[in-house]
Amino acid sequence: MLLRYILRRILIMIPTLLVTSALIFTVMELPPSDYFETYVAEMAAQGEKADTSRIEFLKREYGFDRPPIERYFYWIANFVQGDFGYSFEYEMPVRDVVGDRLALTILVSFCTILMTWIVAFPIGIYSATHQYSWADYGLTFIGLLGIAVPHFLLALIFMYFANVWFGLSIGGLMDPVYLNQPMSWEKAQSILAHLWIPVLIIGAGGTGSMVRAIRANLLDELQKQYYVTAKAKGLPPFRALTKYPLRMSLNFFISHIGDVLPAIVSGSELTAVVLSLQTTGPLLLRALQSQDMYLAGSFLLFLSCLTVVGVLISDIALAFLDPRIRLQGGSTK
Amino acid sequence: MEQPGPADVLRIENLRISFTLHGQPNEVVKGVSLRVPAGRTVALVGESGSGKTVISQAVMGLLPRNGFITQGQILFADPAKAGKVIDLASLDRDGRKMRKLRGGRIGMIFQEPMSSLSPVHTIGNQIEEALQLHRPHPRREARAVTERMLDLVGFRDPHRSYDQYSFELSGGLRQRAMLAMALICRPALLIADEPTTALDVTIQAQVLKLMKDLQQEIGMAILLITHDLGVVANMADEVVVAYRGQIMEAGTAEDIFRRPQHPYLKALLKASPDFDMKPGERLVALREIAPVLPRDFARGADEAPARVTDLVRPAAPPVLLSVRNLRKTYGAKKGAGVVAVDDVSFDVLRGQCLGLVGESGSGKSTVGHMIMRSRSADSGSIIVNDPAGPIDVRALEGAALRAFRPRMQMIFQDPVSSLSPRMTVLDIIREPMIIQGAGTDAEQKRRAVELMECVGLDPRFLSRYPHSFSGGQRQRIGIARAIALNPELIICDEPVSALDVSVQAQVLNLLKDLQASLGLTYLFVSHNLAVVHYMAARIAVMARGRLVEIGPRDAIFERAAHPYTQALLKAVPLPDLDRRLDFATCVPSASMSDPANWPESFRGGAPGQLAMVDLGGGHRVLADPACTLRDLTAA
Nearest CA in chain B to A250: B120
- Return the minimum-mean-pLDDT range out of B150-154, B199-203, B323-327: B199-203
Report the alpha-carbon angle B211-B213-B214, nearest 5.
65
Which residues of chain A make contact with B99, given a CB cutoff of 8 A? 234-236
Q: How far is B420 from chain A (nearest CA, A)?
A: 22
pLDDT on residue B121: 92
User: Is residue B298 predicted with pLDDT exceeding 50?
Assistant: no
B315-341: pLDDT as tens digits: 567 889 999 999 888 765 555 567 888
Percent of chain A with pLDDT over 70: 96
Is A247 within 8 Å of B94 when comparing Cβ atoms? no
pLDDT on residue B237: 94
Q: What distance in Å separates the CA atoms of residue B556 and residue B532, rounded to the nearest whole number?
A: 11
- Rounded mean pLDDT of B233-243? 93
Q: Which H/E stretch holds residue A74?
A: helix A68-80
Q: Topology of domain A94-321, per CATH?
A: MetI-like fold (1.10.3720)
User: Is residue A329 predicted with pLDDT exceeding 60?
Assistant: no
Q: For residue B278, give the DSSP letter.
A: P
Instruction: Output the DSSP codes for B293-355.
Output: --GGGSS-TTHHHHHHGGGT--SPPPEEEEEEEEEEEESGGGS--EEEEEEEEEEEETT-EEE
User: Is residue A32 predicted with pLDDT exceeding 80?
Assistant: no
Q: Which residues of A touch B (CB under 8 A)?
A: 224-226, 228-237, 243-244, 247-248, 321-324, 327-328, 332
DSSP helix/strand/coil, B522? strand
User: Is residue B587 predicted with pLDDT exceeding 80?
Assistant: no
Is A228 within 8 Å of B116 when comparing Cβ atoms? yes
Instruction: Output the DSSP codes for B134-184.
Output: HS---HHHHHHHHHHHHHHTT-S-HHHHTT-BGGGS-HHHHHHHHHHHHHT
Q: How many CB atoms lie within 10 A of CB A182?
A: 6
Nearest CA in chain B to A222: B64
3-state helix, strand, coil in chain A (%, to 5): 75, 0, 20
Q: What are B213-217's contacts with CB under 8 Å, separation 24+?
A: B214/B152, B214/B153, B214/B179, B214/B183, B215/B39, B215/B41, B215/B190, B217/B152
Q: How far is A254 from chain B (nearest CA, A)?
A: 15
User: Is residue A333 predicted with pLDDT exceeding 70?
Assistant: no
Which residues of chain A make contact with B181, given a CB cutoff of 8 A? 229, 233
- Rounded mean pLDDT of B392-421? 90
Q: What distance in Å separates the CA atoms of residue B55 and residue B62, rounded to the nearest whole number?
A: 10
- Rounded mean pLDDT of B353-374? 89
pLDDT on residue B577: 84
Which residues of chain B make contact with A233, given a CB cutoff of 8 A? 102-103, 129-130, 133, 181
A101-134: pLDDT as tens digits: 788 888 888 888 888 889 999 999 999 988 888 9
- Rounded mean pLDDT of B335-353? 84
Longest Cα–Cα distance in chain A: 82
Point out the residue among A233, A235, A324 whose CB comes nearest to the CB of B119: A324
3-state SS track over B189-204? EEEEECCCCCCCHHHH
Is B129 within 8 Å of A225 when comparing Cβ atoms? no
Point out the residue among A229, A243, A327 whose CB comes nearest to the CB of B110: A229
User: Is residue B580 predicted with pLDDT exceeding 70?
Assistant: yes
Point out the residue among A224, A226, A235 whose CB comes nearest to the CB of B133: A235
Q: What is the mean pLDDT of chain B?
A: 86
- Rounded mean pLDDT of B587-603? 72
pLDDT on residue B95: 87
Q: Which residues of B touch A (CB under 8 A)?
A: 60, 62, 94, 99-104, 107-108, 110, 112, 115-121, 126, 129-130, 133-134, 165, 167-168, 178, 181-182
Q: Cβ(B375)–Cβ(B369) under 8 Å?
A: yes
Is B62 within 8 Å of A228 when comparing Cβ atoms? yes
- Rounded mean pLDDT of B555-569? 88
Q: What distance in Å separates the CA atoms of residue B405 and residue B438, rounded to the nearest whole number?
A: 13
Residues β-bridged to residue A154: none
pLDDT on residue A138: 92
3-state SS track over A197-245? HHHHHHHHHHHHHHHHHHHHHHHHHHCCHHHHHHHHCCCCHHHHHHHHH
What pLDDT band is residue B376 in, cutting at 50, 70 and 90? confident
pLDDT on residue B2: 46
Q: For residue B267, give the DSSP letter.
A: H
What pLDDT band is residue B605 in, cutting at 50, 70 and 90? low
User: Is residue B176 predicted with pLDDT exceeding 50?
Assistant: yes
What pLDDT band is residue B300 in, cutting at 50, 70 and 90? very low
Best mutation target among B56, B59, B100, B118 (most A Cβ atoms within 10 Å) is: B118
pLDDT on residue A205: 79
pLDDT on residue B335: 52
Q: What distance in Å separates the CA atoms of residue B22 and residue B29, rounded to the nearest whole number?
A: 18
Q: What distance in Å separates the CA atoms of residue B119 and residue B142, rounded to the nearest whole number?
A: 21
Q: How many CB atoms lie within 10 A of CB B324?
A: 14
Domain boundaries, chain A: 94-321
Point out the residue among A234, A323, A332 whose CB comes nearest to the CB of B133: A234
pLDDT on residue B333: 52
Q: What distance in Å separates the CA atoms of residue B47 and residue B244, rounded to the nearest whole number?
A: 9
Nearest CA in chain B to A130: B65
Nearest Cα neighbor of B144 from B155, B133, B158 is B158
Is B165 within 8 Å of A327 when comparing Cβ atoms? yes
Nearest Cα neighbor of B126 from B176, B162, B80 is B162
pLDDT on residue B134: 93
What pLDDT band is residue B168 in, cutting at 50, 70 and 90? confident
pLDDT on residue B200: 83
Percent of chain B with pLDDT over 70: 91
Q: Tell which wins on pLDDT, B527 or A268.
A: B527
Longest Cα–Cα distance in chain B: 82
Q: How far is A140 from chain B (nearest CA, A)?
A: 20
Backbone angles phi, psi at A191, to 5 degrees: -60, -45
User: Is residue A145 predicted with pLDDT exceeding 70?
Assistant: yes
Is B165 within 8 Å of A324 when comparing Cβ atoms? yes
pLDDT on residue B25: 87
User: Is residue A235 predicted with pLDDT exceeding 80?
Assistant: yes
Which residues of chain B make contact with A321, given a CB cutoff of 8 A? 120
Q: Cβ(B287)–Cβ(B506) under 8 Å?
A: yes
pTM: 0.80
State how beta strands B538-543 and B546-552 pair: antiparallel
Q: What distance in Å separates the CA atoms of residue B258 and residue B387, rounded to the nearest whole number?
A: 53
- Rounded mean pLDDT of B252-277? 87
Q: Work out how many CB contacts closer than 8 A connect A with B.
A: 77
- Return the minimum-mean-pLDDT range out of A265-279, B85-99, B352-366: A265-279
pLDDT on residue B312: 45
- Rounded mean pLDDT of B116-145? 93
Nearest Cα neighbor of B93 from B127, B113, B130, B66 is B66
Best mutation target among A223, A228, A233 (most B Cβ atoms within 10 Å) is: A233
A255-271: pLDDT as tens digits: 877 777 777 666 677 77
Point out the residue among B112, B121, B129 whose CB comes nearest to the CB of A233: B129
Is A234 within 8 Å of B110 when comparing Cβ atoms? no
pLDDT on residue A131: 86
Best mutation target among B21, B63, B116, B178 (most A Cβ atoms within 10 Å) is: B116
- Rounded mean pLDDT of B434-456? 90
What pLDDT band is residue A303 in, cutting at 50, 70 and 90? confident
Is A332 within 8 Å of B120 when comparing Cβ atoms? no
Which residues of chain B make contact with A250, given a CB cutoff of 8 A? none
pLDDT on residue B303: 43
Q: How far is A33 from chain B (nearest CA, A)?
A: 50
Is B99 within 8 Å of A226 when comparing Cβ atoms? no
Nearest CA in chain B to A238: B94
Nearest CA in chain A to B178: A229
Nearest CA in chain A to B166: A324
User: Is residue B295 predicted with pLDDT exceeding 60?
Assistant: no
User: Is residue A3 predicted with pLDDT exceeding 70?
Assistant: yes
Q: How many CB atoms lie within 10 A of CB B405?
A: 17
What pLDDT band is residue B307 in, cutting at 50, 70 and 90? very low
pLDDT on residue B304: 40
What pLDDT band is residue B301 in, cutting at 50, 70 and 90? very low
Distance of CA B238 to the CA centre of its chain: 24
Nearest Cα neighbor of A267 from A177, A326, A180, A206 is A206
B476-499: pLDDT as tens digits: 999 999 999 999 999 999 898 888
- Return the minimum-mean-pLDDT range out of B12-16, B71-75, B226-230: B226-230
Is A232 within 8 Å of B62 when comparing Cβ atoms? yes
Point out the residue among B108, B165, B168 whose CB comes nearest to the CB of A232: B108
Q: How far is B193 from chain A (nearest CA, A)?
A: 12
Is A248 within 8 Å of B120 when comparing Cβ atoms? yes
Is A225 within 8 Å of B115 when comparing Cβ atoms? yes
Percent of chain B with pLDDT over 90: 42
